[in-house]
Amino acid sequence: MKKKALLVAAVLMLIGIGVQAQGWIVSGLVTDEQGAALPGVSIVSKVSSNGAVTDTYGKYTIKVVGEKDILRFNFIGMVPQDVEVKNQKVINVTLKNDVCEVQEVVVCGYSTTAKRSLMGAVKGIRIRGRSSIKQKPQKHQAAYFVADHYEAEFNTENYASINENGYKQVVKSPLSTFSVDVDRASYTNIRRFLNNGQLPPKDAVRLEEMINYFNYDYEQPDGSHPFSVKPELAECPWNDEHYLLKVGLKGREIEKDNLPPSNLVFLIDVSGSMSSTNKLPLLKSSFRLLVNELRAEDYVSIVVYAGAAGVVLEPTSGRNKKQILEALDQLEAGGSTAGGAGLKLAYKLAKENYQEHANNRIILATDGDFNVGVSSNGAMEELVAKERESGIFMTVLGFGMGNYKDDRMEIIANKGNGNYAYIDNLQEAQKTLVSEFGGTLFTIAKDVKFQIEFNPSKILAYRLIGYENRLLNDEDFNDDKKDAGEIGAGHTVTALYEIIPVGAKNSRDWVKSVDKLKYQKEKERKNTIVSDEWLTIKLRYKQPDSSKSILMEQAVSGKVQKFNGANNDFKFAASVAAFGMLLRDSEYKGTMDYEVVKEIALDARGSDKDGFKAEMVRLIEIAESLNTRFVSNQRGY
């Protein structure tokens, strides 16, 4: 009897151990001291290294390994908190403000006279690079003063000038040609401005990047092409005389296990300008999320640059996550910024470890403020354009504020066969590097170009909304040597055209006449072919490892829908475009105002499980309030 009891006890013990080994799911809510939900909070198991991030509503779920597990809750500007799991399945946490962390740190000098090319960039890691830094760096402490924010005179952010596309007459310019763009940096940068109580600079507002920030419910491709193309035509909500054309492109989704192996080089800016909390500390937390996604067949190298560039981690398998994370954790900010030298070293390392049929990519993380060596936008464009021929792709992640160089980072991404995102919080890092892992890091088609031919018997004029820095000459469409944009696995791309149909009463307000030509006859609409088609869409792309393009073609005909009868994707994309035009105070915004934009966005949100569309509604409300205050100040109220 005693033996039987012992046997039963042993079995129960084994069952208990098995249950504990399997773990369970813990969920909860993270708030601040005022009870407001905190999105983007990092939650990491200190036992298993499992990670999670709170959603827009501050909620999270994470798998724990047992009662002895400990969860660390971490958020920039707040005191980290460790919580023992014990037997809990729901853990709600309130984070407290870290008074020191929320202040801006500005580097003003260093307390050592040792060589500073990379000194202070890393702690205790041997650096491979130029001969002057082939030594273990001496430790030194940067001397800081603390300021609450950047004063206006120290704001040196740069944005490329944007001249909005105007209307083109179909008779004179029947073709519209442009390169696709899956960059989304503009939207998150705008969000940063609005959350900080500022209206963004007009040139920071790139309409196509705002529209493409959101995922739309486009059909998966079912043929031989790596993406599907779906056009839709409906009435324009801000000008009832006009129509709106939406062209939606959906890249083929690939399961993570089926993605090719990666040869990644993390190129990280560790200069003094990266010391503030929304730069290097946020950068390191963001890369931790990415490292947790790596597989054994993926390899990572780390190159850092300050006054010079050096290698702090040789190619390391994704199975050795601890080693990669330790290298990241040791990074510190200090010194000037030799971005050009960093790019050259990163390309060199990527080429040395190049893998056929793999994803060979550099991930550059920086505020873009290069001030040593190759640093001008023209020089950067030349450097990256030359290196892209090596088959190495580029992802650019922007961080920080005050000295942010958006124009430079956009050039590097565009010319380097890559994409560009701005990381303003850990939730955005989760979206870019985890949720959209395939789209951000795996290219399924390169040099993707659109060319649309409009029918002059039905359309008087057209205007491409956004894509000003992606316009191509018509002859570039058939030129396979001409660089264009890249599309990642699962990515969606959306383009909008505002169209003035033949017979529109207000056409003279937008289509200006010119004197008759003296030496040649103008084209006559009566010579055109009669057709029910509104337009024809042509698309060219190359496979990632090919130099020859493939052509797709599709005509658009049929009845124009009422705007209210269009699907949610159409209406929401229109609301995003209208929001951007209001932020730019565009001459093309028509009858639109913030209240109407908000109503359209609310009505068209549809499925919004991550809350990003609801967040845009909140940003619209902030922008409306800031705009009202700005107008009142201008009038002296």
CATH superfamily of 168-254+445-505+532-631: Gamma-adaptin ear (GAE) domain (2.60.40.1230)
Q: Which of 217 and 109 is assigned the larger pLDDT?
A: 217
CATH number belonging to the domain at 20-94, selected among 1.10.357.10, 3.30.470.10, 3.10.20.90, 2.60.40.4130: 2.60.40.4130
Specify whether the CB–CB gap between 191 and 576 falls below 8 A: no
CA 422 – CA 411 distance, rounded (Å) = 14
What confidence score (pLDDT) does residue 379 get?
75
pLDDT over 60 (residue 193): yes
Q: Please, is 53 exposed, middle or buried when counting C-beta atoms within 10 Å of its C-beta (0-12, 13-18, 19+)?
A: buried
Q: Is 635 or 227 the better-scoring residue by pLDDT?
A: 227
Give the Cα separation of 290 and 434 in Å (integer). 6
Pairing outcome for strands 550-557 and 70-74? unpaired
pLDDT of residue 267: 95
Q: What is the mean pLDDT of residues 370-378?
A: 65
CATH topology identical between 168-254+445-505+532-631 and 261-419: no
Residue type at position 258: N
- The reported pLDDT for the residue numbered 3 is 52
pLDDT at residue 128 in the model: 54
- Express each pLDDT in 205-243 by its tens digit: 999 999 999 989 999 998 889 999 999 999 999 999 999
Report the percentage of the chain scoring pLDDT > 90.
53
Q: What is the pLDDT of residue 416?
A: 86
- Residues 314, 128: Cα–Cα separation, whole Å: 9
Backbone angles phi, psi at 202, to 5 degrees: -60, -40
d(CA 421, CA 434): 13
Residue 239: what residue type?
N
- H-only helix segments in 472-593: 507-510, 568-584
The closest of 323, 346, 386, 366 to 263, measured between CA atoms, is 346
Tens of pLDDT, residue by residue over 462-500, are 999 999 999 999 999 999 999 999 999 989 999 999 999
Where does 124-259 have alpha helices with state H? Answer: 185-195, 207-211
Per-residue pLDDT, 417:
86
Looking at residue 257, what DSSP letter applies? G
What is the domain partition of the chain in residue ranges?
A: 20-94, 168-254+445-505+532-631, 261-419
Query: Per-residue pLDDT tens for 269-316?
Result: 999 889 888 899 999 999 999 999 999 999 999 999 987 789 999 999
CATH 3.40.50.410 fits 261-419, yes or no: yes
373 confidence band (pLDDT: 50, 70, 90): low
pTM, rounded to two decimals: 0.79
